[in-house]
Structure formats: C-alpha cells, structure tokens
Amino acid sequence: MRNPFFLADRYVIPGLYRLLAMNLRRRGLLEVEIARILGISVSNVSRYLRMKRGAILRLENLGEALKFTDELAESIIAGKRVDLAFSIYKIASELLARKLICEFHRSIDGIDSCNVCPEIFKGNF
C-alpha cells in the first residue's frame, strides 16, 4: 500500500498546483506571472494548463479542492502575503483527512479499506 505522503507528493500536490494555475489563468494572469507566483518555470505552467502535468488525479471533480484553491487564488490576487507551499500542503492534508482521496487510492492500490489518512491528519484543522 502506498502511504499518504507518497500520494500527496505524487498526485495531490501537483493536482493542487494545476488547479491554482488554471484559476489564476481564468482570472487573467499571464503564464509568466503565474510562473513567478508559483515559483515554477513557464513551461511547467503551460503543462499544468494543458493538463499534461498534475492531471492524473482529477481534483476539479472535488468541490472542496476547487473551493480551497479558489480562496487561495483570491488571496494571491488581492495582494495578501501568502506562504504558497504551506497553503498547498495544508489543503492537501485537509483533502486527505476528509478521506476525499480514498477512492483514487483504492483504484491505484486495490485496497478495500484504509483509515490511515484521517488518523494521521485528524485535529490539524
């Protein structure tokens, strides 16, 4: 069984960066501006926007992921000081704690039941 930190690093966090990049693009930011904000290359932004990176786990199907990344994008656009890495990690932890990634985890690992994420991340929010 893959551990929650592997899932977060390999699938959830790139998916959140993709959602955030797409959100910022919809708000009119250029790819170069998004790259500067996210601390990544313009080519990585382009891959996020073209669904070539961070798209294995389709987080846009999770309302909570959209809500959290929309709030983060709003803070960025408003010029608020944002610790981007901390915010992304916190969102990822919240999604895992709420068992919103369990179905995907079951699909790649073939497990029937697991309660690791809620136990690890409970009480952190």
Model confidence pLDDT, tens digit, residues 62-92: 999 999 999 999 999 999 999 999 999 999 9
How many structural domains compose the chain? 1
Q: Does the pLDDT value for residue 123 go beyond 90?
A: no
- For the chain, what percent of residues have pLDDT higher than 90? 66
pLDDT of residue 1: 72
Domain membership flag for residue 102: yes
Domain membership flag for residue 124: no
Domain membership flag for residue 125: no
Long-range contacts, 116-125 (Cβ 8 Å, 24+): 116/3, 116/4, 117/4, 120/4, 120/96, 121/4, 121/93, 121/94, 121/96, 121/97, 122/97, 124/93, 124/97, 125/90, 125/93, 125/94, 125/97
Q: Show the domain range for 17.
A: 4-118
Domain membership flag for residue 36: yes
pLDDT digits (tens, 9 = 90+) for 43-70: 999 999 999 988 788 899 899 999 999 9
